[in-house]
Amino acid sequence: MAQEPVKPPSRRRFLFLMGGAGGLAALGLARRLSNRLNSVTRTSWALGADVSLTVLHDDRRAAEAAIDDAFAELERIEGAMSLYRPHSQLCRLNRDGALENPDPYLVEVLRAATAVSERSDGAFDATVQPLWKLYADAKKAGRLPDADAVREATGRVDWRKVEVAPDRIRFRADGMAVTLNGIAQGFAADRVRAALQARGVRHALVNTGEFGSLGRKSDGTPWTVGIQHPRRPDAYLALAALEERFLSTSGDYATSFSDDFRHNHIFDPRTGLSPTEFSSVTVLARTGMEADALTKVLFVGGLGRGLDLVRAVPGADALCVLKDGRTMLTDGFPRIA
């Protein structure tokens, strides 16, 4: 199936990077770090999101080399999983229904997606791409798709009909298509952080559309991010310290197909409609892939089943914003304000 994806805005139109030294110990560490570390930042665009990497290192050339390696990883991931590159392996799979000799990264992410689908009873499903295309095409025409079209597209959504092997990936039904936008950015954050660590980087902030960190900021405090308010684009909802975990946010505001946000890019694979309970959810987890995928699991599963699934993952915590503006969070979520 030919892909004509609409490049969405970054899911974090307004996200602060913040923090301040707290206490004498932090001040002492800050002096030690700031006296010997250079800060090197590079920005780009990948997998439909703004990308930025900040590395603190005592050798600027070593920092630049580490960032070079990290961006090489991003380029490989783009070539395998991007919906915005017509010749990527994922676009070829969607067009042809099969792919020979896939990149091992694509195999790894599809297998991870299958595992999340199994654990969540299908709340996460990478084969929702037909629904995305249906709604995107309808939006271009200034309307919403009708119920029959939604039903037909939903009939082509089924994670169990994707066969994944090291030498071949194929669909077992016609008209299927995969999007990895719900998990690939998290995988990218994992691979980027690993690339930096392999070069000896001990302090860094990673933003591939999902956030991860290493070590501390130059002032000795944890890397801290602000979570966008889902209804106020110029404000943040809360601050969260990463502390070596990854953070992902999904919101109904990111790509909306109706002015009231009722129809958006997050689909319940069973109905073809957008879930109605949350405006946004934020998940912290030990890996970027977990954090990224769990935001969709939570969005679709809701306060009951969704939160249970998050709590079942070691090291995972969540902050939820309901449609009526109320917020709920798990006990371990590191909310600062």
- The residue whose two tokens read 């939160």 is 307
- Establish how many alpha carbons lie within 13 A of residue 80's alpha carbon, considering only the half-sphere containing its beta carbon: 23
* Crossing angle for the helix pair 60-81 and 89-96, to the nearest 10 degrees: 0
* Residue of 181, 194, 193 whose CA lies nearest to 125: 181
How remote is the C-alpha of 276 from its chain's centroid? 20
Whether pTM exceeds 0.85: yes
**Rounded distance, CA 274 to CA 263, Å?**
6
Q: What is the DSSP string of 100-127?
A: ES--HHHHHHHHHHHHHHHHTTTSS-TT
What are 162's strand-pairing partners?
A: 171
What tokens appear for 117 in the block? 């689908």
Q: What is the DSSP string of 159-199?
A: GGGEEEETTEEEESSTT-----TTTHHHHHHHHHHHHHHHT
Taken in order of first residue, the domains within the chain and their CATH numbers are 98-171 (1.10.3980.10)
Q: What is the dihedral of CA 254, 331, 186, 324, to 10 degrees?
A: -10
- Note down pLDDT in tens along the chain; length 337 residues: 333 344 444 444 334 344 443 433 444 444 555 557 899 999 998 888 889 999 999 999 999 999 999 999 999 999 999 999 999 999 999 999 999 999 999 999 999 999 999 999 999 999 999 999 999 999 999 999 999 999 999 999 999 999 999 999 999 999 999 999 999 999 999 999 999 999 999 999 999 999 999 999 989 999 999 999 999 988 999 999 999 899 999 999 999 999 999 999 999 999 999 999 999 999 999 999 999 999 999 999 999 999 999 999 999 999 999 999 999 999 999 876 5
The bridge status of strand 49-57 relative to strand 98-100 is unpaired
What tokens appear for 18 in the block? 């913040």
